[in-house]
Structure 1
């Protein structure tokens, strides 16, 4: 296939290496100036789970992805709306867009933008987490740490679910399961519940730019707070008639952990991996991305479904207090999606289209 990838961070480069190694023609576009100095074919080396050297093609504009059969969006969710606004005019009938990973119903935003432009034959697929975990080491080098063994995928329109499942399997291999709809994909993302408390309760380490292995500092009481947030996420899913995996199931399926409780899972992961290191930048995505596009989104769903979210609300407020940021105002999707005036039935109808 001809595959276009938007984003050249760890996930973008890892996906490019993985897909090129499987024989696909991969084209990369960097929405920000993080590309090599010239467009055209470039070597890309991956280490870790995939030891390979491949050739990928870099382009200078999103318009040059118009000929792709599949477009993979692999940028942080706080960049989704800008990227999708840039991409929408260049979509064509028959294309599939895979959002990895999706949050705050960004895939619904793109799907509705495409339909508003008269493109009824565009498929937008959603992953609630990434297939791979990776670290970018240079524009031409990436270290792939994990290929998750199980993860769900959804489709808009939902009638394309079977085709999307087959596509993801053909691209990345076995391990994909169908999710009910895009809302299930959004609510399957455990990062906001895990990252918010982990960053806040280790804030002085972040401010001092200390080295701290994050699973070692997911102590029992920090894990207990994360479990409270996760319980609210599960309650939201249930209120919309959805079932998503628990945070403990996420770790078991992603990293083959065996402990039943989160604190013990963290200790198990630290013993196995010794990392990854926690953030050392006060602008960390643990707050800057996961609070507005994860926790603020969950709070908005709580208002729609009349489900209380006190732990989520507390972490949002605390994150704003320590950073001085209005995280609720930083979500660029809630307003254009009309979630403030949405109903439970109305939202379910939209994601079930």
Structure 2
């Protein structure tokens, strides 16, 4: 299958090499041509995983978006949520009818990007899908080398519009057999693990993060007090899911940490594998890092706004969002990705569910 992978980060590099080794025809696009130059020159990425170190030759590495998108059945976008709106504007003139756009994870980017495409005048019908995590535990060593220490074994995924789910899943599962169909894109957005796992880790470890050159929030930084906050925050996510009518499995974060629990997205024992290596022993700049700008400003703000919309108290989520706002000096409840900023706060649950089923038709009517 012809697949376009968009981005230059950990997930994009991992997707490009993994899908290539599965036998797919992969074209990798990155907007930063200077940083991309070595990959452009060699048309390959160096992969390090349990099998060793090897070069993986791509079908095409290109800084030209149209060249990557042309003829692709599937477009994989493992980019931060903060890039979705600007990227949708770039995609508007080059997308083709029937393409599937996969956001792993999405943070309700399906709605954001679909709405932006329509506003940009895109006339073709494309499908969106989003899931709860990157399909890979991966970190780049440099601009040509990526380390993949784990791969997702379960990817709960929702499609927008959900009326066309079967078509999307047929394409998605050809590339990612771990994809598990769930109800719709909001269901998928509320599987996103990032806004649950990362805000407590960065905010409750803010002291050592700013003091030391590097601090492994997943190892030294994951202590019982922080896990208790994880549990409370995840309980609020699940409460919101249930209020919206979404059924179990909810993929509770506890299953990631407990090796003998229900299999989580990366399989049993994934946390131990993650902290065994040093790929996550990285410097963090609290104001700009994607854990703050994506998982807090987009994901956590969205969760808090859903709680307000549904009249469901989410004190842990709201408290963490308020602390994060104080840390960076910005009111993220006002500036973040929220149901208000998406223009959905005045809609009933029934209307939102109809929108999730039908997709772009609703924009044209409204």
2:88 is the alignment partner of 1:96: no
Instruction: Name the counterpart of 1:159.
Output: 163
Alpha-carbon deviations, 1:151-188, whole Å to 9, x = none? 1112122233233333233213x322111110111100
* 3-state SS in 1 of match to 2:242: helix
User: CA 1:38–1:257 in structure 2 vs 1: closer, same or farther (change >3 Å)?
Assistant: closer
In 1, the alpha carbon distance for the partners of 2:39 and 2:238 equals 47
2:294 to 273, 289, 295: 289
> 5+ unaligned residues in a row in structure 1: which ranges?
259-264
2:82 is the alignment partner of 1:82: no
In 2, the alpha carbon distance for the partners of 1:220 and 1:38 equals 42
Question: Conserved in 2, the CA contact under 8 Å of 1:31 and 1:83?
Answer: no
Aligned pairs for 1:236-315 within 5 A: 236-243=240-247, 244-251=250-257, 252-257=263-268, 276-277=280-281, 279-282=283-286, 283-315=288-320
User: CA 1:62–1:342 in structure 2 vs 1: closer, same or farther (change >3 Å)?
Assistant: farther
Instruction: Name the counterpart of 1:47.
Output: 48
> 5+ unaligned residues in a row in structure 2: which ranges?
258-262, 359-366
How far 1:196 moved relative to its partner? 0.8
How far 1:241 moved relative to its partner? 0.3
Aligned pairs for 1:9-20 within 5 A: 9-20=9-20
Aligned pairs for 1:69-218 within 5 A: 69-103=73-107, 105-114=108-117, 117=121, 119=123, 121-172=125-176, 174-213=177-216, 214-218=218-222
Alpha-carbon deviations, 1:108-151, whole Å to 9, x = none? 22234445646463111112211112111222211111111111
* 3-state SS in 2 of match to 1:134: strand
Instruction: Name the counterpart of 1:8.
Output: 8
In 1, the alpha carbon distance for the partners of 2:50 and 2:115 equals 37
User: Given the two structures, how large is their TM-score scaled by the length of structure 1?
Assistant: 0.88
In 2, the alpha carbon distance for the partners of 1:325 and 1:300 equals 16
In 2, the alpha carbon distance for the partners of 1:55 and 1:276 equals 26
Question: Conserved in 2, the CA contact under 8 Å of 1:45 and 1:53?
Answer: yes
How far 1:296 moved relative to its partner? 0.4
* 3-state SS in 2 of match to 1:125: strand
Alpha-carbon deviations, 1:263-315, whole Å to 9, x = none? xx97x568755773364322322222211111100111112211111111110
In 1, the alpha carbon distance for the partners of 2:31 and 2:274 equals 35
In 2, the alpha carbon distance for the partners of 1:111 and 1:88 equals 10
* 3-state SS in 2 of match to 1:143: strand
Alpha-carbon deviations, 1:309-335, whole Å to 9, x = none? 111111011111122233234435755
2:349 to 331, 341, 344: 344
Question: Conserved in 2, the CA contact under 8 Å of 1:63 and 1:90?
Answer: yes
User: CA 1:307–1:120 in structure 2 vs 1: closer, same or farther (change >3 Å)?
Assistant: farther
User: CA 1:95–1:76 in structure 2 vs 1: closer, same or farther (change >3 Å)?
Assistant: same
In 2, the alpha carbon distance for the partners of 1:242 and 1:297 equals 17
Question: Conserved in 2, the CA contact under 8 Å of 1:88 and 1:110?
Answer: no
How far 1:347 moved relative to its partner? 1.6
User: CA 1:38–1:7 in structure 2 vs 1: closer, same or farther (change >3 Å)?
Assistant: closer
